[in-house]
């Protein structure tokens, strides 16, 4: 169905990072309406945030960018997005809480004058993008006339091609005057704004989404996009379903969480809507396709059949990466999600300090989108760091347990050859 609204993006509020894709995406068979998504547990998690942390602490800046401003985002929205913990903070119980409040700061100016409300909008444009896979969040939405929470994605080429050419995938939108209904929609050239294509899902028996947490997801592949609520698929859209227009869902996208107040679609809050209102997010998880596709991944084996291993199975920043006997532990399970990164234990393979010199060690580090974490796997079996234009290398041509890994000028030698999976 067409969702009657304008686009919700603002170039001025985004920190955009355009990255090169690393691997060829494989096919995810889209389930039909009414089908359950099977096998999700087997899919390799490529990125997640469980929002664990002290109450009142900020969202992880290595994962999220907080946008600011009161432009209305093309929809005449009423909120000013801030980077304050009064609008986006962890609750100490494993949740992110996005809070919309009545504004008390006369200095905050929106498109219509002094802002009436504040709220928050977070994106992963700077830190994480992925082409294809399963994107999921467990959310308890706010309640009341005029509220508009959303979990959605934009194409990573937004800065170069603009909207809607970049594509937009709305995984979940809810407006307060439809308490029991959420919408899943795509926008692209020729089917944007009020012409977006998608469907609605309504809870049975008059239930409201604000009464409890619900899980919202899409499964995205070259074959199409399938939306689900609590594991129940309700819409599949294929490339032939955009009425002869261009299918633009063939490149990496980044994630957005936001809580808008007012706007053309939900209308303004009225006296029946108390503030503050909260959008509570239990987690966001992204995985590779579990139907024979998605991100490339598994063990990475090098000289002597030894596995690339995170030393001590530690996920701490700066943990060395080494060769080790292959044991199948998580410290040897790597994913290549398609955004140029190589990941294990929720973090990225990283060239220490972003250096480019021969002999620079590689390590595990929080994913940050820099060239030190961008890799290309070639048909020749090289794993090349694109920031340094050098190859992953086993120190001293050794295959011994504990041999540290580094970057070195590509030489085609056995200690620079790797197999994945």
The pLDDT score that the predictor gives to residue 296 is 56
CA distance 259 to 148: 6
CA distance 144 to 413: 64
Q: Is 173 a catalytic residue?
A: yes
The tens place of each residue's pLDDT in the chain, 421 residues long, gives: 334 444 555 444 443 333 333 322 322 233 333 333 333 334 578 899 999 999 999 999 999 999 999 999 999 999 999 999 999 999 999 999 999 999 999 999 999 999 999 999 999 999 999 999 999 999 999 999 999 999 999 999 999 999 999 999 999 999 999 999 999 999 999 999 999 999 999 999 999 999 999 999 999 988 899 999 999 999 999 999 999 999 999 999 999 999 999 999 999 999 999 999 999 999 999 987 643 344 556 799 999 999 999 999 998 999 999 999 999 998 998 887 767 889 888 889 999 999 999 999 999 998 888 899 999 888 788 999 999 999 999 999 999 999 999 999 999 999 999 988 7
The pLDDT score that the predictor gives to residue 289 is 62
The values of phi and psi at residue 366, to 5°, are: -55, 130
Of 123, 122, 118, nearest to 81 by C-alpha is 118
Q: What are the residue ranges of helices labelled H in 167-234? A: none
CA distance 40 to 329: 20
CA distance 335 to 26: 14
For residue 136, what are the CA distances in angstroms to 181, 263, 329?
A: 18, 26, 25
**What is the β-pairing status of strands 117-119 and 79-81?**
parallel
Q: Point out the catalytic residue in the list 42, 67, 168, 178.
A: 168
The pLDDT score that the predictor gives to residue 218 is 95
For residue 24, what are the CA distances in angstroms to 250, 339, 379?
A: 11, 11, 12
Do residues 105 and 225 lie in contact, with contact meaning Cβ atoms separated by under 8 Å? no
Q: Point out the catalytic residue in the list 67, 77, 136, 173.
A: 173
**What is the β-pairing status of strands 362-365 and 347-351?**
antiparallel
The pLDDT score that the predictor gives to residue 387 is 92
CA distance 244 to 191: 10
Question: Which residues have a Cβ under 8 Å from the Cβ of 46 and sit 6 or more positions away?
Answer: 130, 133, 286, 287, 288, 294, 295, 297, 335, 337, 343
| Claim: this prediction has a pTM higher than 0.85 | no
- Farthest-apart Cα atoms in the chain, separation: 72
The pLDDT score that the predictor gives to residue 420 is 84
Q: Provide the token pair at 96.
A: 């992110």
Instruction: Tell how many helices (H) and how many strands (E) occur in the chain.
Output: 1, 32
Domains of the chain: 11-287 (2.60.120.200), 296-420 (2.80.10.50)
Q: Taking the CA of residue 256 as centre, how many other CA atoms within 13 Å lie in the half-sphere pointing to its CB?
A: 28
The pLDDT score that the predictor gives to residue 223 is 87
């Amino acid at each position: 169905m067409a969702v009657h609204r304008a686009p919700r993006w603002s170039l001025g509020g985004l920190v955009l990072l355009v990255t090169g894709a690393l691997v060829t995406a494989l096919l995810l068979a889209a389930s039909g309406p009414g089908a359950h998504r099977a096998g999700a547990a087997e899919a390799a998690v490529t990125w997640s945030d469980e929002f664990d942390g002290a109450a009142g602490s900020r969202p992880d800046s290595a994962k999220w960018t907080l946008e600011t401003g009161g432009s209305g985002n093309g929809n005449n929205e009423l909120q000013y997005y801030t980077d304050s913990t009064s609008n986006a903070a962890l609750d100490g119980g494993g949740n992110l809480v996005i809070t919309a409040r009545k504004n008390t700061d006369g200095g905050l100016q929106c498109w219509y004058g002094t802002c009436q409300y504040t709220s928050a909008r977070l994106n992963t444009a700077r830190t994480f993008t992925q082409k294809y896979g399963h994107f999921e969040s467990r959310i308890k939405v706010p309640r009341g006339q005029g509220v508009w929470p959303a979990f959605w994605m934009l194409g990573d080429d937004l800065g170069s091609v603009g909207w809607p050419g970049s594509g937009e995938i709305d995984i979940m939108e809810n407006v307060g005057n439809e308490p029991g209904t959420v919408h899943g929609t795509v926008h692209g050239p020729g089917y944007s704004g009020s012409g977006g294509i998608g469907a609605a899902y309504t809870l049975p028996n008059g239930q409201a989404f604000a009464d409890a947490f619900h899980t919202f997801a899409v499964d995205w592949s070259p074959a199409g996009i399938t939306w689900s609520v609590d594991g129940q698929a309700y819409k599949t859209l294929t490339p032939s379903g955009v009425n002869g227009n261009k299918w633009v869902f063939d490149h990496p996208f980044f994630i957005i969480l936001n809580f808008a107040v007012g706007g053309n679609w939900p209308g303004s809050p009225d006296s029946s809507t108390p503030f503050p209102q909260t959008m509570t997010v239990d987690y966001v998880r992204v995985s590779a396709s579990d139907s024979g596709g998605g991100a490339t991944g598994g063990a990475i084996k090098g000289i002597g059949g030894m596995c690339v291993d995170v030393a001590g199975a530690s996920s701490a920043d700066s943990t060395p990466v080494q060769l080790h006997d292959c044991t199948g532990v998580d410290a040897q399970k790597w994913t290549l999600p398609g955004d140029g990164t190589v990941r294990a234990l929720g973090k990225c393979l990283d060239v220490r300090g972003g250096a480019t010199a021969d002999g620079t060690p590689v390590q595990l580090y929080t994913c940050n989108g820099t060239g030190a974490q961008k890799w290309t796997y070639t048909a020749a079996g090289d794993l090349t760091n694109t920031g340094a234009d050098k190859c992953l290398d086993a120190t001293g041509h050794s295959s011994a347990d504990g041999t540290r890994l580094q970057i070195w000028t590509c030489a085609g030698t056995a200690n620079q050859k790797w197999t994945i999976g």
